[in-house]
Structure formats: structure tokens, C-alpha cells
């Protein structure tokens, strides 16, 4: 090459075609592929090589496109999922196997997974699980728990020679383990997530954030700076907020500004936003923004925030106490005093980051005088509610169009990009896009609450619980977010699924200068379960009872009141879950004893733990509405407003609707949660969608079916068939025809329609927390086998057995997916995850489990039907990780004799405890 400077044009083969691009110097290949070549199937999760979502093949080898200068692709062959999915035999087989195994949940990691797997299959035609793990170890997944991905890739190798497999096509009704209905776009790279939908000419927004947890700040001459900075169109500050500069998911606690006004309350809080052309914003250095900071002393811990001289973060919240919760029944103090045996402990957990692989992203534009926000979200109507207040606009002028959601787990219930996008579109009149960097996502969005828990539990000599006194203090960070929900849920759930007649549980949320703690799968219950289930083991040991039998003895049963005084006459499945673990409990304990016989350096242990979780809002209304219609051409349209964030609502809700209507699920046309056309199915939270939206879908299906049958005078058992513009109703030997073309068409184009709402029958709690907090609970029990490296303190989980009472598994494959994915998050919380503001703001310092960290999971589905659930179904999404961490901690204790009371159980922490115990002896 004579000229050492690459021609401005970089040419390479992209999949099958020659392409040329004109990138910036050193532009990331991921950016060139996405923004210049339209390959938005290449996902960006971290821009640092930590997540592997952007994996592409260069000359057949997997690399992170985010670490590759586009110019290095010169003359090479670049392959992405979208290209492979159309033509490559390995990719096609992988796509089918991913769908058949439920290996794609949210789908954001799927391109990286399948592309990496294609490279493997080209090298090794029939890989085993270990080879799959080694090949996919560079791609993080936060939803699946990886095991189904391993299964899918192994199966893709095994089916190489076999004819293309066709899943038996059935009607897909409740109980059928069908493929996800929205799966195709996840395995061919066409699903559009938050960063995939902006028009090419959109302006780009960057947020200016506080580098300090607490700082006063002064903005410089913004107008002058905008005028002097080419390509920058505008700056936003609190002064640009036309409505209230305040939001919050719980109206009574709304306390968070869109932009801080005088002083910031956590590191990463927004103070301004810069809007410019995409070219200008690629060159933009946030350090150049005119703002001066004065760092102020900050409080990072609950203890500091409760000190007598502590600065108060919010008016009206003395002592930085946001709120608290209390559940009390019987007389805990007296019972504990009279108990034959008591145990007590103090437990501590840290911040946990959701770490979905899709950072928050979206775009907004003005269309026909209305503001439209397209972004990833778990709660489109709540986003609309909040923007109505922030923008000071009529809600009729706001439209929320959810994009695909690359994982949520609770954090995408809160606003993130939405207000900035809306304000920017209003200010500039042009489409504006915003994608959080991984660091921004980690700094500024909500976390799991750190907890400090003290707990004392007593029992009589026969092993019945006698007295339970729980106190939990939660670091709720700078703003309330879902902190009040955590404060309310924890006392209701801290008992675990057990009969406890003398009970007191108190919680408090305390503000600090930390990121807001909010909703994260379980709302504080995973933290309280660590304390309760750990001490249950201690109590059983003190009593000399088998740890499993002790739990079975105390397990709730039908007709037995909960600590809230709620009596379920049916549907209490914890006993069945625990009993389902009995065979594994005995077998695994015997195996561990045999393994440990020679006092090896790697000791094994077996742990169990249980959990329960109330589905839906605590004692508050939380209705879902589902609408369906039939068009004159015979298509059946389901307005499915329950956000699918990977868990499967786009499949489960239609399965329920199809069951009720009596048609095959594949007949349905789905319309998503666009607030202009689909009614509010509530937030994807509180494990409520299968139960609550599922019930609304069942009602809508039943009403529509009733309408059809009535029109032809058919009986309830008649069969409905769609044939073009006719509906045939076969009632015994009689076939009726309903001519749709002859029916009047409504404004939405429907000739028949139904719109039904379901709201769980919960009731308020009194001052002692007595009442009916939930219409149903789901139940779970996990068994974990671990191997501990005594000298280094590392813990290797070897196996899980997970029993879950889901009432009715609407889709057993998706149930397993939830269980495995939840266990992976529980494993992360137990063994490696702790978010430290300012220190672990990326995915190489903040560690989540990789594909090599998740052992096999045996899922035992228990179906103890619930009278309120659709076809008996109960919620599941949050139950899945509640028992995991305590089961692991109990397994570590079983292996080592060490009771850890703080998570994560890092090697350093466990090794220190092992040494301390050795010294004490």
C-alpha cells in the first residue's frame, strides 16, 4: 500500500454484498454497521467488550464490533445475524432451535449468541455443552440463565443431519409449551429495541450529569455556548420544563426532578441536556459543557443519613426517613421469651444493578401537533401519566409507543430517557434520539435496595415457630421511586410462606446520596428471604431437625392464616413445592456426604430455601384491560398491552385469550401497547401480567365468544372456526355461518369486539398490616448444590432443583425460562453482584453471571390451581429468585460450616470467614 492513510471510503463485504462506508476516524464498526449501513441487528450493550451483544464475524471469527475500528474491516468479510439468518444453514438451524428451546427471552443478546454459535458450528459440527460454554462465554445474557441457550446450540449441532424439525402445531391453548409468538424477530435480528427505531435524521441528545454524589452547580452562558458550538442546536435545563420538574412512580412520593435545579443528590443526576446533530454529538466532549461544580459532603450509608446532624434530602422526611411498613399479629416479644429455642442474626445486602443488556434508549418526535415517545419501557401508561405532568400537556396530546424491551427486571418501570426526549422534541421541533451509555444506565437508573436486617426467630421444642421479630432498614437512595412499595411488601412477605402466629415485621426506607433504589424483581423480598431462610436453617439445626422437614412442618396450608390474617381456602402450594424437593434433598445430601468423606479441598454442600410472593399491587387497585376485535376479513386482533420485557406476555396473554375464545393462538393478530390504540394493561411488575392481564384476556375472549355464539344461537360447547370472511360455528351436528362482511364496521375497523377489565380483589391493610394484601400468592422452593474451594473461598454451584407452584403453567417452556433466568439473578446476587456508586459503573467491574457460572436447573412445575387465576394460573416472574440466594448461602453453610450474613459471598469474604472460624476453634 503506497498511501498509508486509508481511503476515506472503507470497503468490505457485509454478509453477501460489497459495501462502502465513510466512517469517522476510528469509528466503531458497530456504529458504522448500525448507523451507516442500517444493520441494527448488531446490538450495543456496553461499548467496551464486556457484553458481546455486538458480536459479528470478521473473516469468520467472532469479534466485538464495538471494539473494532471500521477501517480494520477494509477488504474483509463481515457477517451479522441479519445476513446469516437469511442464508446460513447453521444460523437457520440455530434460529429454530433457539425458538424451540425458549433460548431467546428479551432477545437483545440473541444476535451475539447466535453469531458466536455460528462460528462454533462451523468449527465443531456437534459441540458438547462445554464447547458451547467456551464459545459463548463472551456474550452476557440477563434473562435466560443460559441453560436453554446451551441446550439450543447443542441441539442445533445434533439436528445437523436430521430433517428440519417441525414443532407439532397445536392450538397453543393454556398449557401448551409453544414457541414465543414474538420470537421470529428475536432470532433473525429484526426486532426493534429502543435504540433501533429513530429516523436517520434525528438529532442526538446527551445528558450532562453530576460527577459527584452531592454538588452545587452553576451553569455558564448556555446561549453563548450553543451559538459557539457548531452542530449543537439547543440545551435543556430545568427552566425548559413546562410542567412540573418532578416525577415519581408513586404520586404521593413524587420527588425526583427531571433536571436538578441547584444541588444534585446522587452521582449521575442530570443537570442539563445537549441536543445536536449526530455528527456534532459524536465529537462532543461532555467535559466541554459550561458548568462548574462545588462538591458537597455526601451521605452514602443509612447510618450517616440517620445521624442527628445529617443533611435532610427532602422536605417533610425527617431523619431522611421516606416511609416505613409494619405487619404485626399475636405477640412476638412474649412468644420469643417463651420459646424453647431462639436464633437471631444481622444480615446485610448491597445495591444490585439490573444490568439488562439493553441500555435505556428511544426517540421522540412531534407528529400532527402531538408528542410521540418511542422507547423501551415496562409501563407505557405510567410513562404517559408522568409526561402529562412534566410537559404540562393534555394526555390526549401524548402518545407512548413502546419499542422492544431488552430486559427490564423492574428498572424500566421508572422514567429514564422519556422526559428528556419529549422536552427535546418540543424544544427543537425535530425528532431527537437518546441512548444511555452503559455507565449512564448504571449511574442513573434504579437499583435493588441495600438492606440491613435484624431478625430473631423462636420455636418450641416440637419445631413450631414461636415468635418472629424482623427489622429491615433499606437504603432507598436519593429519591423514592418504588421505595415505598419495598417498605410495604417486605413486612408482608418477611415471614416466608409459613404459619407464624406471633409476628412483628417493621421496615423503613432511608434516603441517602446514592442512586435511587427502586423496583428489582422481588421488591425487597429477596433480601428479607436471605435473613429468614438462613435463620430457618439455624433454627432447624438447633432443634436437631431435618432442615426440609422443619420447613414442611411450618409451611402454610389452605385455611391457615398468613401473618396478615389472610386465609386462603385454596391454592396454597408451598407444601407441595417443599415436598417435591424431598427426593433430591436426600439424594444430594447423601452424595455430598460421600464426596466430603475424605475431607477434600473442594467441599460440597446442599441448601434449600423457600419463598412466596403476592401477585399484583399490595392492597391497591391494579386493573388490566384487554381489547380484541374481529375485522371484516375475519382476522382476529388482540390488543395485547401487557409489556413483554422478555418474560413472555406476548405469548402467554394470547394463549389465554385464544383458549377463552376457542380458536388456535396462531390465528391471532397481535397489536402491542401503543397508548393510542391499546388499552392499559398495567405495568409489567409485581408478577401480575399472567394473572391480571391474563384474566382480562380470558374475560375478553369469553365475551367475544359469547357474542359470536349468541349471534348464531349456538350452545356454549360449540366450536368456532374462522374461514376468510365467515365465522363457522359448529354446534353438534349443526354448522352455522356468520357473515362478517354483512356486519357494521366500527371506527377501529372491527365488526365484533370485546374490551374487558380485571382488577384483583385485594383490600387495604389496617394499622397492623392485617387485611387482604393480594388475591393470590405464588410459591417456590429451591435446592442448590455447591462446591466450595476451601483454600480460595470460591463457590461453584453445581446444580439447582427448583419447585414452583404456578397454579397452571400456561406455557411450561416459558415457565422454565423464568425459573432459570431468575435463578441466575439470584446466583449473581448471592455470589458476585454489588453495585458501588462511582466504582462499579461498567460490566467489567460489576460482574453478572456468565454462561460458565450457571449450572443445570431441574424445574419442577407444581400446579396447585388458584381460584382467581386464569385457568388457575399464578404469577411467577419474581418468585423465581427469592429462594435462590438463601439456598446458596445455606449450601455454603452445609459445605463449610460457615454462616455468611452478607452478600455477595465473594471469594475474599468467604475465605475470611473460613479463616476466622478456623482461628476460633
Partner 1 sequence: MSYFVPTELGEAIGLMAVRDVNIVAGGTDFYPSRVSGPLPDDILDVTRISGLTGITRVGDGIRIGAATRWSDIVHADLPAAFAGLQAAGREVGSLQIQNAGTIAGNICNASPAADGVPPLLTLGAKVELAGPDGTRQMPLASFIKGPRQTALRAAELVTALHLPLPPSHARGAFEKLGSRKYLVISITMTAVVIGCDASGRIDFARVAVGACSPVALRLTALEDDLLGQIPDAIVVEPHHLAELAPISDVRADAAFRMEAVGEQIRRAVCKAADANG
Residue 146, helix vs strand vs coil? coil
Q: Does 437 bind partner 1 (CB under 8 A)?
A: yes
Contact by Cβ (8 Å): 119, 61: yes
CB of 205 to partner 1, least distance (A): 14
Q: Tell the smallest beta-carbon distance from residue 902 to partner 1 (Å).
A: 14
Stretch that binds partner 1, among 60-68, 338-346, 586-594, 744-752 (CB under 8 A): 60-68
**CA gap 209, 287 in Å, rounded:** 10
Which uninterrupted H or E stretch holds 240?
Answer: none
Q: Which is nearer to partner 1, 270 or 813 (CB)?
A: 270
Name which of 709 and 895 has its Cβ closer to partner 1.
895
Grid coordinates in use for 156? 442445533
| 592 contacts 895 by C-beta, under 8 angstroms | yes
At its nearest, how many Å lie between partner 1 and the CB of residue 844? 6
Could you give phi then psi for residue 24, rounded to 5 degrees? -65, 165
Dist CA 67 CA 63 (whole Å) = 8
Interface stretch with partner 1, choices 24-32, 219-227, 383-391, 810-818 (CB under 8 A): 24-32
Beta pairing class for 203-209 and 432-435: parallel
N- to C-terminal Cα separation, the chain: 72
CB-based contact 514:351 (threshold 8 Å): yes
Asked if 369 interacts with partner 1 (CB under 8 A), we say no
Residue 190 in contact with partner 1, rule: CB under 8 A: no
CA distance 56 to 66: 10
Q: Which of 14, 15, 21, 27 binds partner 1 (CB under 8 A)?
A: 27
Nearer to partner 1, 65 or 174 (CB): 65
Q: Which 287-326 residues touch partner 1, going by CB under 8 A?
A: 287
Using rule CB under 8 A, residue 155 touches partner 1: no
Instruction: Specify the stretch interacting with partner 1 by CB under 8 A; choose among 62-70, 259-267, 391-399, 560-568.
Output: 62-70
Q: Are 552 and 465 in contact (CB under 8 A)?
A: no
SS (H, E, C) 413-461: HCCCCHHHHHHHHHHHCCCEEEECCHHHHHHHCCEECCEEEEEEEEECC
Q: Which is nearer to partner 1, 676 or 845 (CB)?
A: 845
Alpha-carbon span 580 to 750, nearest angstrom: 48
User: What backbone torsions phi and psi does residue 827 show, to the nearest 5 degrees?
Assistant: -65, -45
3-state secondary structure of 159: coil
Backbone angles phi, psi at 427, to 5 degrees: -70, -40
Scan residues 234-293 and list those touching partner 1 (CB under 8 A): 282-287
If one asks whether residue 837 binds partner 1 (CB under 8 A), the answer comes out as no
- Among 842, 865, 897, 899, indicate the residue that binds partner 1 (CB under 8 A): 842
Query: Does 798 help bind partner 1 (rule: CB under 8 A)?
Result: no
Nearer to partner 1, 238 or 284 (CB): 284
Please tell me whether residue 916 binds partner 1 under the rule CB under 8 A. no
In this structure, the number of other CB atoms found within 10 A of the CB of residue 177 comes to 17
Nearer to partner 1, 439 or 570 (CB): 439
What is the Cβ-side half-sphere exposure of residue 308, based on CA atoms within 13 angstroms? 0
User: Is residue 37 involved in binding partner 1 (CB under 8 A)?
Assistant: no
Asked if 911 interacts with partner 1 (CB under 8 A), we say yes
From candidates 14, 40, 42, 52, binder to partner 1 by CB under 8 A: 52
Site for partner 1 in 439-478 (CB under 8 A): 439
Q: How far apart are CA 143 and CA 243, in angstroms?
A: 37
Is residue 741 involved in binding partner 1 (CB under 8 A)? Answer: no
Which residue stretch of 47-55, 185-193, 527-535, 584-592 sits at the interface with partner 1 (rule: CB under 8 A)?
A: 47-55
Taking CB under 8 A as the rule, does residue 792 contact partner 1? yes
Across-strand partners of 235? 274
Q: Does the footprint of partner 1 cover residue 231 (CB under 8 A)?
A: no
Q: For the stretch 748-783, what's the b/e string if a residue is b when 16 or more beta carbons lie within 10 angstroms of its beta carbon?
A: eebbbbbbbbbbbebeebeeebbbbbbbbbbbbbbb
Q: Could you tell me how many residues of this chain bind partner 1 (CB under 8 A)?
A: 71
116: left (phi over 0), alpha (psi -120 to 50) or beta: alpha
Residue of the chain from 47, 256, 416, 554 that contacts partner 1 (CB under 8 A) = 47
Of 70-78, 182-190, 480-488, 666-674, which part binds partner 1 (CB under 8 A)?
70-78
Contacts of partner 1 in 132-151 (CB under 8 A): 133-135, 137-140
Of 269, 787, 853, 864, the one binding partner 1 (CB under 8 A) is: 853
Asked whether position 844 contacts partner 1 by CB under 8 A, the answer is: yes
For partner 1, the closer of residues 99 and 823 by Cβ is: 823
Q: Which is nearer to partner 1, 285 or 309 (CB)?
A: 285
Amino acid at each position: 500500500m503506497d498511501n498509508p492513510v486509508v481511503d476515506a471510503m472503507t470497503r468490505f463485504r457485509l454478509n453477501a454484498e460489497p459495501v462502502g462506508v465513510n466512517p469517522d476516524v476510528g469509528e466503531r464498526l458497530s456504529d458504522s454497521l448500525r448507523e451507516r449501513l442500517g444493520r441494527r441487528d448488531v446490538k450495543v450493550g456496553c461499548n467496551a467488550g464486556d457484553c458481546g451483544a455486538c458480536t459479528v464475524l470478521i473473516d469468520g471469527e467472532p469479534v466485538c464490533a464495538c471494539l473494532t475500528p471500521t477501517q480494520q474491516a477494509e477488504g474483509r468479510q463481515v457477517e451479522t445475524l441479519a445476513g446469516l439468518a437469511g442464508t446460513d444453514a447453521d444460523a437457520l438451524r440455530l434460529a429454530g432451535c433457539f425458538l424451540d428451546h425458549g433460548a431467546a427471552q428479551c432477545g437483545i443478546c440473541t444476535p451475539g449468541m447466535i453469531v458466536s454459535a455460528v462460528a462454533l458450528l462451523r468449527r465443531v459440527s456437534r459441540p458438547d455443552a462445554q464447547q458451547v460454554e467456551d464459545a459463548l462465554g463472551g456474550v452476557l445474557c440477563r434473562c435466560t440463565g443460559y441453560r436453554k441457550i446451551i441446550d439450543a446450540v447443542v441441539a442445533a449441532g445434533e439436528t445437523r443431519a436430521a430433517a428440519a424439525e417441525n414443532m407439532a402445531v397445536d392450538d397453543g391453548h393454556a398449557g401448551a409449551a409453544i414457541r414465543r409468538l414474538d420470537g421470529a424477530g428475536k432470532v433473525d435480528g429484526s426486532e426493534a429495541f429502543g435504540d433501533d427505531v429513530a429516523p436517520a435524521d434525528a438529532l442526538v441528545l446527551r445528558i450532562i450529569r453530576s460527577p459527584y454524589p452531592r454538588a452545587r452547580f452553576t451553569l455558564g452562558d448556555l446561549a453563548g455556548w450553543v451559538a459557539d458550538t457548531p452542530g449543537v442546536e439547543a440545551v435543556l435545563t430545568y427552566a425548559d420544563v413546562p410542567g412540573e420538574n418532578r416525577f415519581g412512580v408513586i404520586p404521593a412520593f413524587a420527588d425526583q426532578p427531571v433536571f436538578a435545579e441547584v444541588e444534585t443528590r446522587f452521582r449521575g443526576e442530570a443537570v442539563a441536556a445537549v441536543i445536536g446533530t449526530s455528527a456534532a454529538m459524536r465529537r462532543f466532549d461532555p467535559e466541554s459543557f459550561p458548568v462548574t461544580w462545588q462538591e458537597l459532603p455526601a451521605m452514602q450509608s443509612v447510618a450517616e443519613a440517620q445521624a442527628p446532624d445529617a443533611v435532610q434530602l427532602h422536605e417533610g422526611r425527617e431523619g431522611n426517613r421516606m416511609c416505613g411498613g409494619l405487619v404485626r399479629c399475636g405477640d412476638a416479644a412474649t412468644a420469643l421469651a417463651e420459646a424453647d429455642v431462639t436464633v437471631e442474626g444481622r444480615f446485610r445486602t448491597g445495591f444490585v444493578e439490573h444490568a439488562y443488556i439493553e441500555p435505556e434508549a428511544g426517540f421522540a418526535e412531534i407528529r400532527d401537533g402531538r408528542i410521540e415517545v418511542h422507547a423501551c419501557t415496562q409501563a407505557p401508561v405510567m410513562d404517559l401519566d408522568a409526561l402529562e405532568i412534566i410537559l404540562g400537556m393534555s394526555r390526549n396530546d401524548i402518545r407512548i409507543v413502546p419499542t422492544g424491551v431488552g430486559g427490564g427486571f423492574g428498572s424500566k418501570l421508572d422514567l429514564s430517557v422519556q422526559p428528556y426526549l419529549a422536552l427535546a422534541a418540543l424544544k427543537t421541533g425535530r425528532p431527537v434520539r437518546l441512548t444511555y451509555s452503559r455507565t449512564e444506565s448504571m449511574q442513573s437508573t434504579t437499583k435493588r435496595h441495600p438492606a440491613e436486617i435484624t431478625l430473631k426467630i423462636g420455636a418450641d421444642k416440637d419445631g413450631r415457630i414461636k415468635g418472629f421479630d424482623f427489622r429491615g432498614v433499606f437504603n432507598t437512595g436519593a429519591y423514592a421511586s418504588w421505595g415505598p412499595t419495598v417498605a410495604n411488601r417486605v413486612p408482608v412477605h418477611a415471614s416466608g410462606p409459613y404459619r407464624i402466629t406471633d409476628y412483628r415485621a417493621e421496615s423503613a426506607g432511608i434516603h441517602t446520596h446514592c442512586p435511587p433504589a427502586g423496583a428489582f424483581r422481588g421488591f425487597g423480598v429477596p433480601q428479607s428471604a436471605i435473613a429468614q431462610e438462613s435463620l430457618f436453617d439455624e433454627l432447624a439445626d438447633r432443634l436437631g431437625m431435618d432442615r426440609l422437614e422443619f420447613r414442611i412442618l411450618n409451611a402454610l396450608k389452605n385455611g391457615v392464616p398468613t401473618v396478615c390474617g389472610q386465609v386462603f381456602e385454596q391454592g396454597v402450594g408451598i407444601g407441595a413445592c417443599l415436598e417435591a424437593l424431598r427426593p433430591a434433598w436426600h439424594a444430594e445430601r447423601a452424595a455430598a456426604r460421600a464426596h466430603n468423606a475424605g475431607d477434600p479441598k473442594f467441599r460440597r454442600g446442599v441448601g434449600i430455601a423457600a419463598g412466596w410472593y403476592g401477585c399484583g399491587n399490595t392492597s391497591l387497585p391494579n386493573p388490566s384491560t384487554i381489547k380484541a376485535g374481529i375485522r371484516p376479513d375475519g382476522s382476529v386482533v388482540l390488543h395485547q398491552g401487557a409489556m413483554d420485557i422478555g418474560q413472555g406476555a406476548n405469548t402467554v396473554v394470547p394463549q389465554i385469550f385464544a383458549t377463552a375464545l376457542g380458536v388456535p393462538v396462531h390465528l391471532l393478530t397481535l397489536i402491542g401497547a401503543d397508548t393510542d390504540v391499546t388499552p392499559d394493561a398495567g405495568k409489567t411488575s409485581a408478577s401480575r401480567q399472567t394473572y391480571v392481564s391474563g384474566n382480562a384476556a380470558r374475560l375478553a375472549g369469553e365475551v367475544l365468544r359469547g357474542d359470536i355464539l349468541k349471534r348464531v344461537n349456538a350452545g356454549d360447547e360449540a366450536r368456532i372456526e374462522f374461514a376468510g370472511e365467515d365465522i363457522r360455528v359448529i354446534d353438534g351436528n349443526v354448522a352455522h355461518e356468520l357473515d362478517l362482511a354483512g356486519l357494521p364496521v366500527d371506527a377501529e375497523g372491527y365488526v365484533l369486539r370485546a374490551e374487558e377489565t380485571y382488577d384483583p380483589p385485594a383490600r387495604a391493610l389496617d394499622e397492623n398490616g392485617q387485611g387482604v394484601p393480594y388475591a393470590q400468592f405464588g410459591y417456590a422452593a429451591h435446592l442448590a448444590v455447591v462446591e466450595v474451594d476451601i483454600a480460595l473461598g470460591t463457590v461453584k454451584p453445581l446444580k439447582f432443583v427448583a419447585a414452583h407452584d404456578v397454579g397452571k403453567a400456561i406455557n411450561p417452556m416459558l415457565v422454565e425460562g423464568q425459573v432459570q433466568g431468575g435463578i441466575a439473578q439470584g446466583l449473581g446476587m448471592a455470589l458476585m453482584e454489588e453495585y458501588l456508586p462511582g466504582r462499579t459503573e461498567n460490566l467489567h467491574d460489576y460482574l453478572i453471571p456468565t454462561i460458565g457460572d450457571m449450572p443445570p436447573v431441574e424445574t419442577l412445575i407444581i400446579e396447585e390451581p388458584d381460584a382467581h387465576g386464569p385457568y388457575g394460573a399464578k404469577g411467577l416472574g419474581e418468585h423465581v429468585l427469592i429462594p435462590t440466594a438463601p439456598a446458596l448461602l445455606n449450601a455454603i453453610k452445609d459445605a463449610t460450616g460457615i454462616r455468611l450474613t452478607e452478600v455477595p459471598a465473594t471469594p475474599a469474604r468467604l475465605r475470611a470467614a473460613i479463616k476466622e472460624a478456623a482461628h476460633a476453634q
